[in-house]
């Protein structure tokens, strides 16, 4: 097959600038690369946010060292603004080694500055390398990227078919008008081809190309765990932008394809534990039960985790999940205050959370509970209600996040109406562990800073205590997992995970 171009997809470093790493692979890039590969393109995907030298590990957005992360922001800015630092020199070397014709950059709001750094480094190496940006921030605030002189194209929304069409016509700008969802430049003019009228047909996508991850044979098995069985979320939470990318309607990947993906990852990357990344596992109950029964009937002998909402769980479903190998469920609890739940349009109740946590305990499935503090109008009493709920449900891990008004959210609009953000916004500060974002209404800033400081310390202390006790209690099980998933081949990863407990 004729190779048209070489594409290097990069997930820019962000956690690494804070002496952490993220094992979560750039799933959107993996889906795009699989389609491009089938159409003759030479693709490589590099998660520049992972290496085995950093001192802490975070699987995606989950970390049990939230306090430490929040205190590293100055260090982050120092490295971010110094392109001579070892991390940026590594980026430069990888690009030189790969010699791509095109670089595709994944953009999150928090990593926006890092994206621009990689684009700058790319053009310093070779101005003829084409730089394309996609991802959440590219979808919600594309002008932030296309205005940058080092970025050539920005793709809005799901990027598989758009990227393929763009690359097929990259030398023929006359055809760009037919590629919906594309921002590009004509001299100094920025042009937009218009909104895409439909989302990707999941039946026509290929399995995410994890075999194209750079140095994939050296990566720990946890990197290959994430899978999607659906896209889209119908819920209205005011802090979330998922629907901006994947829509409100839940679309389902073909069941045979999901089973094929699980079998392939087991065989090729020795993955025995998976994480289902759907926005809401169990949203389509018929599909969910069919998936669970296939896992059971085909004797896949896997364990897995997922993320869902409290009201989606019932006795029949949790029983089936346990039988199919579920060991962990993440739930966005957010708050214990009924008033704040209504404000953020969570769409469920505290009782739903308590019922779900009791069900999970009954079937010995670990609960990871995500709390969020600092919503508009939140009071100390609201925070106390959240802590009361935390003690009532006693999750295995509890994450203390700060309400973050990302672009395109109703939450940001609400803050602007309260005159919280009246000037040009610095997106560098927008991440869930940054205490700068936490401010209680009508409370002195120093007191607000003390409150979030205490909350982060308290959550970290609970998590470390529980996980230390669990490590001692179930030490033989952890040894079995290390052997089964061959994690002993990645000793630095294991050491860094243990450091998180110190």
Instruction: Give me 365's structure tokens.
Output: 């499935």
Token readout for 206 is: 């290929």
**Is pLDDT at 486 greater than 90 in this prediction?**
no
Mean pLDDT of 179-185: 96
Average pLDDT, the chain: 91
- The answer on 264 and 156 residing in a single domain is no
299 falls within a domain: yes
For residues 183 and 274, membership in a common domain is answered with no
Considering the domain architecture, whether residues 65 and 167 belong to the same structural domain is answered as yes
Distances (CA, A) of 203 to 164, 179, 229, 298, 357: 17, 21, 11, 22, 35
Residues 27 and 95 grouped into a single domain: yes
- Express each pLDDT in 56-111 by its tens digit: 666 554 555 566 666 667 778 889 989 999 999 999 999 999 999 999 999 999 99
What is the DSSP secondary structure assignment for residue 210, as one 8-state letter? G
Mean pLDDT of 257-281: 96
- CATH code of the domain in which 146 resides: 3.40.50.280
- Torsions phi, psi for 427 (to 5 deg): -70, -15
User: Do 362 and 439 belong together in one domain?
Assistant: yes
pLDDT for residue 492: 79
Task: Summarize pLDDT for 341-391 with one digit per residue, the tens.
Answer: 999 999 999 999 999 999 999 999 999 999 999 999 999 999 999 999 999
Q: Among residues 445, 467, 496, which one ends one of the domains? A: 445
Helix 285-297 to helix 255-269 angle, to the nearest 10 degrees? 40
When pLDDT is averaged across residues 259-265 and rounded to a whole number, the result is: 98
The predicted-structure confidence for 144-179, as pLDDT tens digits, reads as follows: 999 999 999 999 999 999 999 999 999 777 789 899
On whether residue 488 sits in a domain, the answer given is no
CATH number at residue 438: 3.20.20.70
Does 163 share its domain with 266?
Answer: no
Quote the pLDDT of residue 2: 44
CA 465 to chain centre: 26
If one counts the domains in the chain, the total is 2
Do 167 and 29 share a structural domain? yes
Half-sphere exposure of 167 (CA within 13 A, CB side): 30
Residues 244 and 187 in one domain: no
Dig out the tokens for 418 from the structure: 């309260």
Residue 58 is predicted with a pLDDT of: 63
Where a domain ends, among 142, 167, 192? 192
* Cβ proximity of 132 and 43 under 8 Å: no
Does residue 413 share a domain with residue 335?
yes
In a domain, 478, yes or no: no
280 belongs to a structural domain = yes
In a domain, 455, yes or no: no
Q: Are 334 and 400 in contact (CB under 8 A)?
A: no
Lowest mean pLDDT among 240-249, 415-424, 460-469: 415-424
Does position 1 have pLDDT exceeding 50, yes or no? Answer: no
Domain's final residue, options 445, 464, 480: 445
* Domain assignment of residue 278, yes or no: yes
Q: What are the distances in angstroms from CA 244 to CA 143, 156, 250?
A: 16, 10, 13
pLDDT at residue 418, as a whole number: 81
**Assigned domain for 369 exists:** yes
Q: Do both 230 and 154 map to the same domain?
A: no
Percent of the chain, pLDDT > 70? 94
pLDDT computed for residue 272 by the predictor: 94
Same domain, 268 and 394: yes
- In percent, the amount of the chain with pLDDT more than 90 equals 74
Q: What is the mean pLDDT of residues 187-211?
A: 94
By residue range, what is the domain housing residue 127? Answer: 6-192
Q: Is residue 204 part of a domain?
A: no
Tell whether 53 and 183 lie within a shared domain: yes
Q: What is the pLDDT of residue 358?
A: 98
**Of the candidates 66, 89, 143, the residue with the CA atom closest to the CA atom of residue 401:** 66
């Amino acid at each position: 097959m004729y190779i048209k171009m070489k594409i290097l997809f990069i997930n820019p470093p962000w956690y690494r600038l804070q002496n952490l790493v993220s094992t979560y692979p750039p799933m959107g890039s993996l889906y795009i690369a699989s389609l491009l590969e089938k159409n003759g393109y030479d693709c490589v995907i590099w998660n520049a946010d992972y290496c085995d030298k950093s001192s802490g590990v975070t699987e995606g957005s989950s970390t049990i060292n939230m306090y430490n992360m929040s205190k590293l922001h100055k260090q982050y800015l120092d490295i971010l603004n110094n392109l001579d630092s070892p991390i940026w020199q590594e980026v430069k070397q990888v690009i030189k080694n790969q010699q791509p014709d095109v670089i595709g950059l994944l953009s999150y709001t928090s990593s926006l500055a890092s994206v621009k750094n990689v684009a700058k480094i790319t053009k310093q190496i070779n101005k003829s390398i084409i730089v394309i940006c996609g991802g959440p921030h590219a979808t919600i605030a594309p002008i932030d990227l296309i205005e940058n002189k080092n970025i050539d194209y920005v793709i809005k929304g799901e990027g598989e078919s758009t990227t393929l069409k763009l690359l097929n016509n990259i030398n023929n700008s006359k055809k760009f008008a037919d590629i919906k969802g594309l921002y590009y430049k004509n001299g100094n003019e920025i042009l937009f081809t218009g909104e895409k009228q439909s989302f990707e047909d999941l039946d026509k996508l290929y399995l995410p190309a994890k075999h194209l991850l750079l140095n994939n044979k050296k990566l720990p098995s946890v990197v290959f765990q994430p899978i999607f069985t659906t896209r889209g979320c119908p819920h209205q939470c005011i802090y979330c932008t998922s629907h901006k990318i994947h829509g409100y309607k839940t679309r389902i990947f073909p069941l045979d394809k999901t089973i094929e993906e699980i079998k392939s990852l087991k065989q090729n990357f020795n993955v025995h534990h998976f994480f289902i990344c759907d926005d809401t596992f169990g949203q389509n109950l018929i599909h969910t039960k069919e998936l669970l029964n296939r896992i059971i009937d085909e004797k896949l002998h896997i364990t897995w985790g997922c993320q869902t909402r409290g009201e989606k769980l019932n006795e029949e479903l949790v029983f089936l999940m346990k039988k199919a190998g579920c060991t962990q469920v993440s739930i966005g609890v957010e708050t214990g205050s009924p008033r704040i739940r209504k404000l953020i349009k969570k769409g469920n109740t505290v009782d739903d959370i308590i019922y779900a946590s009791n069900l999970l305990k009954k079937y010995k499935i670990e609960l990871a509970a995500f709390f969020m503090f600092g919503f508009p109008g939140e009071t100390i009493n609201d925070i106390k209600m959240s802590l009361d709920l935390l003690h009532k449900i006693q999750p295995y891990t509890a994450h203390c996040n700060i309400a973050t008004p990302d672009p395109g959210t109703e939450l940001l609009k609400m803050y602007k109406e309260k005159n919280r953000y009246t000037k040009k916004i610095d997106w560098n500060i927008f991440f869930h562990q940054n205490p700068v974002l936490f401010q209680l209404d009508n409370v002195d800033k120093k007191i607000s800073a003390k409150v979030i400081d205490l909350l982060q310390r308290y959550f970290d202390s609970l998590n470390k205590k529980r996980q230390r006790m669990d490590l001692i209690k179930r030490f033989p099980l952890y040894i079995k997992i290390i052997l089964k998933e061959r994690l002993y081949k990645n000793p630095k990863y294991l050491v860094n995970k243990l450091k998180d407990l110190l």
